[in-house]
Amino acid sequence: MNLGHIKAKSDERLPKMDQWSFQPHGRYLISAERDVLATVLPKLFGYYILQLGGPVKSSLIDSSAIDNHIRLTMEPSPGFDGESVLGDPYNLPFEPESIDVIVMPHVLEYLENPKAVIKSVYDTLIPEGTVIIFGINPNSLWGIAKCLHRNRMVYRRGTSHYKSTVIHWLKEAGFDIIKRKTLCFRWPSASEQFLKRSKIMEPIGQLMMPTFGGVYMIVARKRVEKVIAVMPNLAVPVQKGYVEPAP
């Protein structure tokens, strides 16, 4: 997949998810994503885990057993409990095949060339490294809310991609899909009381409409093409007949 040399534009910025955390629906979303990551990250091992974007003061990767936590941002954002790196998501500032796990919370929704970001992630991950992507599901209550109130909340200013589309991009880049899941079945209300009262929607949604949660998570592994070594034929040919020597 040749996408050329793409750079982030000067006005292209990942939204600070901390803006979400001041609103009930944002706390609900971040809490749900941290909870589901706590079921995935402890099973992944290595030396380096990268959080690309996401909240600054509430890390999404605390549950990881990996020692070195890094966050990449496009602008200064002090407060992350770990190393923070300024960089361009289209050209991640790391050595090729140097990061074991990359978590991308709502990154593809805010950048104009999501396929180029996925390609950069593929190049940065170690062989069989893991990427975890979160996105707003258009086929959900959150998708409906986004259409009704486009400019009111941070997540509504992004471009929601269908889960099937992101999966296609990942496979095209060279990933195998390991896990997919949707969460957040409640309406993204600004009312804390409404969110508490509608908590029953979570088990009902998972049971009856498991693909219609407001947020989807995709876990993918970098595919490594297996090379089959072909050994040269070292067998000594057997002489099937002989000619009598001349007298």
Helix axis angle for 163-173 and 114-124, nearest 10°, is: 50
pLDDT value of position 94: 94
For the record, the structure tokens of 125 come out as 């991950």
Q: Judge contact between 136 and 160, C-beta under 8 A.
A: yes
Instruction: Give dist(CA 14, CA 91) in Å, integer.
Output: 15
Most confident of 168-182, 184-198, 212-226: 168-182
How big is the chain, counted in residues?
247
pLDDT value of position 171: 97
Instruction: Give the pairing type, strands 215-222 and 125-136.
Output: antiparallel
For the record, the structure tokens of 64 come out as 């990881």
pLDDT value of position 10: 47
- Check whether 212 has a pLDDT greater than 60: yes
Longest dimension (CA), the chain: 112
φ and ψ of 192, to 5 deg: -65, -40
Most confident of 32-41, 149-158, 206-215, 219-228: 32-41
pLDDT per residue as tens digits for the range 99-128: 999 999 999 988 889 999 999 999 999 999
- Check whether 9 has a pLDDT greater than 60: no
Quickly state the pLDDT bin for 144 (edges 50, 70, 90): confident
Domain boundaries of the chain, sorted by first residue? 25-222
Q: Judge contact between 116 and 122, C-beta under 8 A.
A: no
pLDDT value of position 110: 85
pLDDT value of position 236: 47
Q: Per CATH, is 25-222 categorized as 3.40.50.150?
A: yes
Start-to-end CA distance of the chain, whole Å, equals: 72
pLDDT value of position 1: 44
User: What is the Cα Rg of the chain in Å?
Assistant: 24
pLDDT, mean of residues 140-165: 78
Residue 108 CB burial class (10 angstroms; 0-12, 13-18, ≥19): buried
Choose between 238 and 171: higher pLDDT: 171
Q: What single string gives the DSSP state of each residue in 18-78?
A: HHHHTSHHHHHHHHHHHHHHTTTGGG--SSEEEEESS-SSS-S-TT---SEEEEEESS--T
- Check whether 2 has a pLDDT greater than 50: no
Buried b (16+ CB within 10 A) or exposed e, 29-54: bbebbbebbeebbeebebebbbbbbb
For the record, the structure tokens of 45 come out as 């091992």
Which residues touch 135 (CB under 8 Å, ≥6 apart)?
106, 108, 109, 160, 161, 163, 166, 215, 216, 218
